[in-house]
Amino acid sequence: MSLSASSLWSPISGGITAPHGFKASGVRAGFKISDKPDLALLLAPQGSICAGTFTQSLMRASCIDLAIERLRVTNGQIRAVLVNSGHANACTGPRGLLDSLHATKQIASCLGLLPDEVLICSTGLIGAPIPMRKLLDAIEPLASSLSDEGGSAAAQAILTTDLVVKEIALQAEFGGRKVRIGGMAKGSGMIHPNMATMLGYFTCDVGVASDLWQGMIKRVVERSFNVISIDGDTSTNDACLAFNAGDHLENEYLNSLEIGLNIAAQYLAKAIARDGEGAYCLLEVKVVGTQSDVEANQLARSIVGSSLVKTAVHGCDPNWGRIVAAAGRSGVTFNPDNLSIWLGPYQLMKGGQSIEFDHSKVSTYMKKAHQGNYLSTDCVCIRLLVGSGPGAGKAWGCDLSDEYVRINADYTT
């Protein structure tokens, strides 16, 4: 998946450890039956500031409560985050919280930090407590393998059913000063605004004051991770954490920094959608002409989340009637006589009525997106014009395939 064009920011290698001073590692603790790494650690330099956004679900894991509490008591001065993959440690009662406390205390002790400076994020099966013996045994090798080249190892270790590693790093120069942003994320089921079974991490090697940083990250997440939907389900454990550390950036460059964060977050969000469970292609829905951006986003989400639209996209079938149905039930008011729909470059509907189009050409356009690999930029793009209002919005998702059903019909067994 290539990056959006930006004259400011250039892609570099290194993921979350590309920014100066950040270290990461990933090891195999043995949580999973496979031989893949499943425990990651990120260490931020002294003086770092962390901002977080978390699942809106009522049923949230205790690690989320712990993260929110520690961000509060430290005023964002978090130094490390541990990520275990395979066991969500949600709905595990007091034991779940005690395990999180224990794990972070051990990490703190190992790294010479205070327990309050360490967070833990868990992803995997809900109701499954963390196998603590395995975790505790892995802490020493995990800490000792921390490295400023460990970004990719960490990005690999946080995955569950994801097929590909999702990481990015960008670099820009502001007033002669090099600034780097790193990011990594995981999907890939139970993904829906707000957030997802989604973990996202960002690092940045310039300092930004805590309140400014929190506001910036909130806006960035709103335009990226909160725009994707794989299957309409939201997880108990979603979290996005963003660290900055270094001399403070001059105010005049804050907007440029936010542009870079947007590029990185949207890249990762689209990569999550493209790698949705069982997905063959990335689906993008763009809506313009509503009264507000909020309405446009709501309309786009209704379409990107429709099982009937998603199966039609899977079948490379330009069945615009399903797009119309999903738009009609979105709760957004518009004049049906003004509705126009495009699929890629092909217009399928104009002024509320179907128009002639070459079915096979549109189907070929859709097939092309299916042939992309997991990092392809190709997508099936649905565009709607619903009126002359100033609102614009978008949503990203994926097709719904037989494989989605098969993956999810047998996950715990």
* Binding residues vs a copy of itself (CB under 8 A): 56-60, 88, 90-93, 125-127, 189-190, 192, 231-236, 305-308, 311-312, 314-315, 317-322, 324-330, 332-334, 336, 339, 349, 352-354, 359, 363, 400-402, 404-406, 408-413
The DSSP element (H or E) to which 80 belongs, if any, is strand 80-87
CB of 199 to a copy of itself, least distance (A): 15
**DSSP summary character for residue 357:** -
Pairwise CA distance, residues 80 & 102, whole Å: 15
CB of 18 to a copy of itself, least distance (A): 33
Q: Which of 197, 203, 236, 290 is catalytic?
A: 197
Q: Beta strand pairing status for 199-204 and 166-174? A: unpaired
For helices 320-328 and 293-304, angle between their N-to-C axes, nearest 10 degrees: 130
Smallest gap from Cβ 11 to a copy of itself, in A, equals 34
211: enclosing H helix or E strand? helix 210-222
Alpha helices in 123-209 (DSSP H): 132-144, 151-157
Minimum CB distance to a copy of itself smaller for 76 or for 189: 189
In the bound state with a copy of itself, the residue whose beta carbon lies nearer, of 2 and 360, is 360
17 is catalytic: no
Query: Please, which residue, 152 or 302, has the CB nearer to a copy of itself?
Result: 302
- Look at the alpha carbons of 121, 127, 128, 129 in this order and tell me if their dihedral is positive or negative: positive
Q: What is the DSSP letter of 205?
A: S
Closest CA to 305 of 383, 396, 238, 237: 396
CB of 379 to a copy of itself, least distance (A): 18
CB-nearer residue toward a copy of itself: 59 or 163 = 59
- Closest CB 320 distance from a copy of itself, rounded Å: 7
C-alpha angle 144-147-201 in degrees, rounded to nearest 5: 110
| Nearest to a copy of itself of 113, 369 (CB atom) | 369
The pair of structure tokens assigned to 108 is 């703190």
CB atoms under 10 Å from CB of 145, counted, come to 15
Closest to 399 in 3D by CA, of 338, 328, 312: 312
Smallest separation (angstroms) from a copy of itself to the CB of 217? 22
Between CA 277 and CA 402 the distance in angstroms is 10
Nearer to a copy of itself, 72 or 95 (CB): 95
| DSSP-based three-state secondary structure for 228 | strand
Taking each helix axis from N to C end, the angle separating 93-111 and 132-144, rounded to the nearest 10 degrees, works out to: 20
Known catalytic residues are: 197
